[in-house]
Amino acid sequence: MDITQVLGYFGALLVGIVLGLIGGGGSILTVPILVYLLILNPVTATAYSLFVVGVSSAFGAIQNIKKGLVDFKIAFVFAIPAFISVYITRKYVLPAIPTEIISFGNFTLTKNIAIMVLFAIVMLLAAIPMIRGRKETNQTSEAMKFNYPLIIVEGFVVGLLTGLVGAGGGFLIIPALVLLAKLPMKKAVATSLLIIAVKSLIGFIGDVENLEIDWTFLLTFTVISVIGIFIGSYLSNFIDGKKLKKGFGYFVLIMGVYILFKELF
């Protein structure tokens, strides 16, 4: 095992620790770790990321279900279009994208570059709510009107994005649950984890039929991430996750800018 592999597995542990400490966001590091440290093809990396994100989110979702924080009705409405969209994207859309998309001058936009550029944009968008922080909202149960058509559209869009870049999309799901489904922030975060877990793992099923999966590596990486979640959860008793989230947001922002420049220039 060389130094890059050691760093890659350490990165897996870090993903879990961040998830355990701040309750989300850490999985957005999975694709850069797999691509730049473990030298995986971006298509394979996004597939593996879906599995890691799905399993990690499932652990968080189970804890929240026990606490009674998950709104199953809204999760069901949001998740169905999301997992249909993510499965179609991984099974049919991604394989249909040509290896070389467009050329101009000396630059050729390849499928791999396009995936990483889109991923970098997602990182930049995800960093903003981390840096700003989320405002707690208190919703009463009286006269709540859910905007079901928009929830379904948002679910489909999030599924498409997840399918393309292998990220959970919590930064899109949580605002949608707060604004469209009128969920309090705590319930929105908890419900989003269940949605992310379901759609990520269903998206990965689309990859199993298209890609050669190295199960030994993937399960090892995932187990290390899950161990990291337990370490992070323990450390959260001593460290303020909210303060860490802002710093992590700036780190994600810098990483997003770095990936953009690395892939384009």
pLDDT in tens, 118-167: 999 999 988 888 888 766 555 544 445 667 788 888 889 989 999 998 88
Task: Answer yes or no: is pLDDT of 16 > 70.
Answer: yes
Tell me the two tokens of residue 154.
Answer: 């948002």
Those residues whose C-beta lies under 8 Å from the C-beta of residue 100, and which sit 6 or more positions away, are 108, 109, 110, 111
Those residues whose C-beta lies under 8 Å from the C-beta of residue 17, and which sit 6 or more positions away, are 26, 228, 229, 231, 232, 235
pLDDT in tens, 76-88: 989 899 989 999 9
pLDDT of amino acid 3: 84
pLDDT of amino acid 63: 85
pLDDT of amino acid 134: 63
pLDDT of amino acid 104: 85
Mean pLDDT value of segment 6-13: 91
| DSSP E strand stretches across the chain | 100-104, 107-110
Mean residue pLDDT of the chain comes to: 86
Mean pLDDT value of segment 204-225: 92
**What residues are paired with 110 via a beta bridge?**
100
Task: Answer yes or no: is pLDDT of 29 > 80.
Answer: yes
Model pTM above 0.75: yes
Helix (H) / strand (E) containing 51: helix 42-66
Q: Is 101 helix (H, G, I), strand (E, B) or coil?
A: strand
Task: Answer yes or no: is pLDDT of 71 > 60.
Answer: yes
